[in-house]
Amino acid sequence: MNKLHPGALWQFRIRGLVMALFLLVFAIAGIIKAGSNLDRISAGVIVVFAILVLLFTEIYARLAYNNWSYEFTDTNLKIESGIIWKRYSNIPYERVQNVDITRGIWARMLGYSSINIQTAGYSYSPNNKGWSEGYLPAIDMNQAEKIRDFLIKKITKKSGGL
C-alpha cells in the first residue's frame, strides 16, 4: 500500500490545532459563564493544558497520516483511512468519471497535490466532508499527474476512446 506525501502531516496537524482551538474557546466560555474568575487559573495550568493540546494534536496527526493508504490494483483503487472508525473503499476503474487535481497554497509550498476521483453513483453527503469517493489528500505533485494519466487511460479504454 502507498502512503501519503509527508506534507500531509502538516495538513493533519493544522486540522487538529483548529479543532483544539475551537474546543479551547468553548472551554473558556464555559468557565466564564459558570462565574469562575479567570485570574484564579494559574499560568502553570494554562501551560500544561497547552502542552497537552500540542501533544494530542501531534499524536492525532501521526496516527491520521500512518492510517491513510492507497493502492492501485489491476481492476480497482483501494483506499484505507481512519484512526478509530476505519474506512475501506474499493473503487472499480469502470466507475471512474473524472479525475481532478487541486493544489492549495499550503500544498504548493509543501510540494503535494490532492486528488479527487469522481465516480458514477456517488453523491454528496455531509459525512464525507464534501470529498469525492476517491479522495487522496496529499500525493507528490509528479505522482499525482501520473495517477491522473493512468486513470484517464483506464477511462478512455473502457469507453472505447474519445
Average pLDDT for runs of 10 along the chain of length 162:
90 88 75 62 69 88 94 93 91 91 90 90 56 86 94 78 55
Cα separation, 118 vs 136, in Å, equals 11
Quote the pTM value. 0.76
Cell numbers representing residue 63 in the block: 496516527
pLDDT at 52: 86
Nearest to 17 by CA among 61, 48, 49: 61
User: Which residue in 147, 157, 135 sits closest to 91, CA to CA?
Assistant: 135
Taking the alpha carbons at both ends of the chain, their separation in whole angstroms is: 32
pLDDT at 29: 72
3-state SS assignment for residue 99: strand
Residues composing the chain: 162
Phi, psi of 81 (to 5 degrees): -155, 165
pLDDT at 48: 78
β-strand partners of 50: none
Give bridge partners of residue 32 from the DSSP assignment: none
Domain ranges of the chain: 2-66, 92-159
**pLDDT computed for residue 162 by the predictor:** 52
40 DSSP assignment: G
Cβ atoms < 10 Å from Cβ of 52: 11
Q: What is the pLDDT of residue 129?
A: 54
Supply the pLDDT for residue 161: 58
DSSP string, 138-153: EEEHHHHHHHHHHHHH
Question: What pLDDT does residue 43 have?
Answer: 61
What contacts 55, CB < 8 A, 6 or more positions away? none
